[in-house]
């Protein structure tokens, strides 16, 4: 074995890892719904890549604690992104805090579970406000300045239910399908301006949402996940961060499921 190969082997045996330069150090990001779960994991991954991050949540104590966990000077903002107006206000506050934003990660908790029979009509507006119109508000506030600078990334956290509706989650299925159509349309309109717009569709991950829906984090294999495990939020955050990178500048209008192989369709 050559000396170079021996040195390479020794490098890896010491447990080091080469960090890919994502080309986004110094960029500015607003991550919504980041007091926990996938939003928090995404904020941590972006900050670790050198991005200046603002996060929001409704509870001051929780979002302050989350910002401390993110580190790297992460700025917490108390905001409710459960409506178009709330989403718009969060982005405006993030722009004021950072002097502008280059990366937007729309995200919000899911609406309450229910079926067609059990869900009253008036709850549909609540679901649409939370998981569709809030994203519209955030995009309207963030994207025009990205277009002016000819660089921007919008990565929305939605759900694999867009591809395969999840039983008892009719509100989430409906609203997230709508936001997918909205973002796909926007992606085609702003691509010429150097702005990419994508969605990442999580399957089952170890978050508080799983506790709410299932009373805990179930066994992955029992849930029919081919990978046999429930997703790690930190891994999910790194997927989102890659889509924000310079390496992903030709990826737009995509809907990427991150679900351990649970979705079985071809498209």
pLDDT: is 61 or 229 the higher one?
A: 61
pLDDT at 15: 45
Q: Is the pLDDT of residue 17 over 50?
A: no
Give pLDDT, residue 20: 76
Q: Which residues of 243-261 are buried (b: 16+ CB within 10 A; e: fewer)?
A: bbbeebeebbebbbbbbbe
The per-residue pLDDT for 18 is 53
Q: Percent of the chain scored above 90 by pLDDT?
A: 80
2 DSSP assignment: -
Question: What pTM, to 2 d.p., does this model score?
Answer: 0.90
Q: What is the mean pLDDT of residues 83-98?
A: 98
Span 20-258: which CATH code?
Answer: 3.40.50.720
pLDDT digits (tens, 9 = 90+) for 212-257: 666 666 677 667 889 998 899 999 999 999 999 999 999 999 999 9
Q: Which residue has the higher pLDDT, 208 or 225?
A: 225
Residue recorded with tokens 């790297």? 72
Work out the average pLDDT over 49-63: 98
Q: What distance in Å separates the CA atoms of residue 77 and residue 149, rounded to the nearest whole number?
A: 25
Which pLDDT score is estimated for 4? 54
Evaluate if residue 9 carries a pLDDT over 80.
no
Q: 258 pLDDT band (50/70/90 cuts)?
A: very high
Query: Any bridge partners for residue 30, and if so which?
Result: 54, 104
pLDDT tier for residue 146 given thresholds of 50, 70 and 90 = very high
């Amino acid at each position: 074995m050559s000396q170079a190969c021996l040195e390479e082997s020794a490098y890896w045996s010491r447990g080091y890892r080469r960090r890919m330069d994502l080309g986004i150090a110094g960029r500015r990001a607003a991550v919504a719904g980041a007091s926990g779960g996938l939003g928090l994991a995404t904020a941590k991954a972006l900050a670790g890549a050198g991005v200046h991050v603002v996060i929001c949540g409704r509870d001051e104590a929780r979002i302050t604690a989350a910002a401390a966990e993110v580190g790297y000077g992460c700025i917490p903002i108390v905001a409710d992104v459960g409506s178009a107006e709330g989403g718009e206000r969060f982005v405006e506050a993030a722009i004021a805090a950072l002097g502008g934003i280059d990366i937007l990660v729309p995200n919000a908790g899911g609406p309450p579970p229910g079926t067609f029979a059990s869900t009253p009509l008036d709850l549909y507006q609540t679901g649409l406000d939370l998981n569709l119109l809030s994203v519209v508000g955030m995009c309207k506030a963030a994207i025009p300045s990205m277009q002016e600078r000819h660089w921007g990334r919008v990565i929305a956290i939605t759900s694999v239910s867009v591809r395969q509706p999840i039983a008892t989650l009719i509100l989430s299925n409906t609203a997230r399908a709508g936001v997918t159509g909205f973002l796909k349309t926007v992606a085609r309109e702003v691509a010429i301006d150097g702005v990419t717009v994508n969605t990442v569709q999580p399957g089952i991950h170890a978050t508080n949402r799983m506790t709410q829906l299932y009373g805990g984090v179930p066994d992955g294999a029992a849930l029919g996940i081919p990978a046999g495990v429930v997703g790690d939020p930190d891994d999910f955050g790194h997927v989102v961060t890659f889509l924000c990178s310079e390496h992903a500048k030709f990826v737009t209008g995509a809907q990427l499921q991150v679900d351990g192989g649970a979705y079985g369709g071809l498209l």
